Amino acid sequence: MADQFRVTLAQLNPTVGDLAGNGAKARDAWAQGRAAGADLVALPEMFITGYNTQDLVMRPAFQADAIAEIHKLAAACADGPALAIGGPWVEEGKLYNAYLILKGGKIASKSLKHHLPNETVFDEVRIFESGPLGGPYSVGNTRIGSPICEDAWYDDVTETLEETGAEFLLIPNGSPYYRDKLEVRLNQMVARVIETGLPLIYLNMVGGQDDQVFDGGTFALNPGGALALQMPVFDEAVTHVDLTRSDDGWRIEPGKVHTHPDAWEQDYRVMVTGLRDYIAKTGFSSVLLGMSGGVDSALVAAIAVDALGADNVRCVMLPSEYTAPESLEDAELAAKALGCRYDHVPIGEGRAAITNTLAPLFEGLAEDLTEENIQSRLRGLLLMAMSNKFGEMLLTTGNKSEVAVGYATIYGDMAGGYNPIKDLYKTRVFETCRWRNDNHRDWMKGPKGEVIPPRIIDKPPSAELRADQKDSDSLPDYPELDALLEILVDGDGSIADCVAAGFERDVAKRIEHLIYISEYKRFQSAPGARLTERAFWLDRRYPMVNRWRDPS
């Protein structure tokens, strides 16, 4: 029996629906593995289709195309190492999430996902059939078990594989980021290693897809849970891993253990990666945004420049009579610090035209929120016109605190195709700005140094839609608001929980009410990078019509 086994791990970034492109990436990884003398080249879960496919994979024509691409891949990779790749599989009219082993020009083996996730961003119970508990597959005379992603979070699949002869575990994943998830994954996989006594390789994909970013961080564990290898987060990488057989079974030879950055850097990287891939995968190359002189738009501009480069970012100031001179100065300073284009488009003339048009209908009525929202919607109209004319995707800039309580104008400042800070509470916006001013990394395309003027970070937030307006006129101060939102949104907590945490009941009830009545706005809002387990969209799905309120 062979005493050495080499696996080439391809931590790569697929694009949903780009079957030929994903197949080409797989072939390239296979060629690298063949050149390195690999026995097996491994790709992540559902790699041929990209992930998360949602209902796209339920289309029979899409299934047929994906499976045909896998057969092409098998034929192209006939002469060399086995290739393991995730994709859809159809048997007896049933659709499965499968891991397919290609060898000798054909599909030699397959594993079918047994535990289908049906929470947070996943809805696989509705899409796929559950596969049976199965045994390992063979590559040469080595038997490998491949629980697919969720399967490795349950001991029944891995224990069945160990009992039926698996010699090590290779787990293909499409596991998206949320803050501190790497530690959660590692703890789960250590448990599987201790239960089975088998070495384990956890292979994850990278890249952005809609609101999700897959963060990679592929790792390998030896029996007992010792870390043998850890690949970088977020970066595409191909790594060769050697296993050696001894009297005690297979052991993974020590490889490079990359140190992962802290949560602040990872969150920022997710926002940059999510935007960069969303723009590239939807066919855009450049973006624009409304630059108000406030902290949210300044941070979005910095993220955009770091993702796309300054030449591909347009910042537009659209002032009214309520725009403070300091805001004009701050917006221009931030744009210049980042090196991107800055345009100045006053809205006074357009606002006057709209006011005059509506005057006969509004005669005798006092000015109120209507007139404030006209300003915001006029800005949205002008920015969308520029987006159409210049072919630049419009970014929207509302933070999670505003999105939660509806402190934003639908069809106004909510207009846009993507929102990088959608899952970032306002208190974290401030700290993220400070982090970016103090830190620069090679993956950032923007300049080093203080790219967000400190005055923008330190001044009181204001929508500047009326004279002397401050956010605190309408909402609790952000530290209080965010703490309440973390209880009510992130923690699914009750009013009683808020009171127990020291908040006034009336304030908590008001915030709860704002959360519920703003659901229709969030339903129509742009997607944005998911940073937490309770991001708005797939993580948290509430009815738009809802009269229930917590009676506690």
What are the Cα distances from residue 61, in Å, to 90, 95, 131?
12, 13, 22
Determine phi and psi for 479, rounding to 5 degrees. Answer: -60, -40
Task: Report the alpha-carbon distance of residue 316 to residue 346 in Å, rounded.
Answer: 10
Widest distance between CA atoms in the chain: 92
The sign of the CA dihedral 251, 256, 262, 263 is: negative
The answer to whether 315 is a known catalytic residue is no
Decide if 551 contacts 445 (C-beta within 8 A): no
- Among 103, 113, 400, 426, which one carries the catalytic annotation? 113
Question: E-assigned strands of 345-450?
Answer: 393-395
Report helix angle 426-438 to 295-308, nearest 10: 50
- Among 149, 315, 340, 498, which one carries the catalytic annotation? 149
Beta-ladder partners of 257:
230
Decide if 171 contacts 149 (C-beta within 8 A): yes
Closest Cα partner for 43 from 193, 278, 201, 158?
Answer: 201
Please give the structure tokens belonging to residue 543. 């009815």
The answer to whether 113 is a known catalytic residue is yes
Residue 509, CB-side half-sphere exposure with 13 Å CA sphere? 8
The answer to whether 77 is a known catalytic residue is no
Decide if 147 contacts 171 (C-beta within 8 A): yes
Three-state DSSP state, 132: coil
AA letter at 295: V
Beta-sheet strand order (sheet of 40-42):
106-112, 94-103, 82-91, 40-42, 4-11, 237-246, 249-252
Active-site residue set: 45, 113, 149
